[in-house]
Amino acid sequence: MLPAIFGLSGLTLTPEEVGLIRRADPIGFILFARNIETPQQVKLLTDALRHHTGRDNLPILIDQEGGRVARLGPPQWRAWPPALEFAHAYSQSPERGRAAAVCNYQALALDLVALGISVNCAPVLDVPEAGAHDIIGDRAFGSDPTVVAELGAALLEGFSNAGVVGVIKHIPGHGRALADSHEALPRVTASAESLSRDLAPFKALAHAPMAMTAHIVYDAWDDQQCATLSPGVIREVIREQIGFDGLLMTDDLDMKALEGPVPISGCQSLAAGCDVVLNCWGRMADMRGLAEQLPAATAACERRLSEAMAIWGPAPSTAAIAEQQADLLAQRDRLLHNA
């Protein structure tokens, strides 16, 4: 099995993509707006991916956080609130705010279950710092690490209730970055003592099934390499200090925070200790390069993958999903109204 998660070029698989899937057997796939048109089309695409890989528990990922990060949206799908809305509710009533978050994210996850999407790249556990770049902003559950951890746990509970795997991100923390790592390499100069605040939500949710790294240089831990490429940060901070032992994937290798060819960055990230590389754009040359140059998935990677995907199961009927969602959203709205 190839330790890579690939993007796809369009609404259906091309013959080249089918050939690559059958030859390389990548661990999973990630969907973007270019892959999404209607519920029927998306379900056919996810069915095709399972058919060609022969794996029912195939990781098929999406970024469906709610708010401004949502690959599924109106008119075909509901618009979902951003994470910060639940932080506001939590500040008025922690019990009701947390319960509302569970209902919301379970209902959101049911949208994914109906489409055959098994993994959602959320929650954002970054703790925004005043003056930082707004790439995180309302995607975070506020600026209190304790609240971020509590509502992140509520999100994971909601996902799990629906049978969807969550991905905590961007470990070990993107909240202090002064740049967007899609566009440049951020450098965080805070002390290790200050960074303990950023780590707190990740420590609290170290049991999460999957995590995504941050393409950020942290001077306190490694002033040469970003976390994704740093053996020290992955081993000493993510695995030991945070205690995360789930499946660790990179953020997208195509982001401008990383330099050089995608296959080289992929090899470097695996050598540093990541389990899986994420390559989102569906460019055949990059995917072929990764397939040629990456080593096979390690035994530890395959164990972590199997444990993470144990959450996924057969989808309920369309009618059952609609009924569950209606009930969950009614509960959520009652809780938010009284929060």
Closest by CA position to 248, among listed 169, 187, 145: 169
Active-site annotation holder among 182, 207, 333, 337:
182
Q: Which two tokens stand for residue 240?
A: 């030991």
Element (H, E) at 218: strand 217-218
What CA–CA distance (Å, rounded) separates 129 from 41?
41
* Distance of alpha carbon 277 from alpha carbon 299, whole angstroms: 16
Nearest to 269 by CA among 255, 285, 258: 258
Q: Catalytic annotation on 222?
A: no
Please tell me the chain's helix, strand, coil percentages from 3-state DSSP, rounded to the nearest 5.
45, 15, 40
The separation between CA 113 and the C-alpha centre of its own chain, rounded to angstroms, equals 16
Q: Which residues pair with 26 in a beta bridge?
A: 2
Say if residues 108 and 72 touch (Cβ distance below 8 Å). Answer: no
Which residue is it, tokens 């057969």?
314
* Cβ atoms within 10 Å of 333's Cβ, excluding its own: 13
- Choosing from 198, 251, 252, 286, which is the catalytic residue? 251
Dihedral sign for Cα 304, 310, 311, 315, please.
positive
Pull the structure tokens for residue 71.
């690959």
Q: Which residues of 292-321 are buried (b: 16+ CB within 10 A; e: fewer)?
A: eebeebeeebbebbeebbebbeebbeeeeb
Sorted by sequence, the CB contacts under 8 Å of residue 51 that are 6+ apart come out as: none
- 3-class DSSP state of 210: strand
| Contact in structure between 328 and 106 (CB atoms under 8 Å) | yes
Active site residues: 182, 251
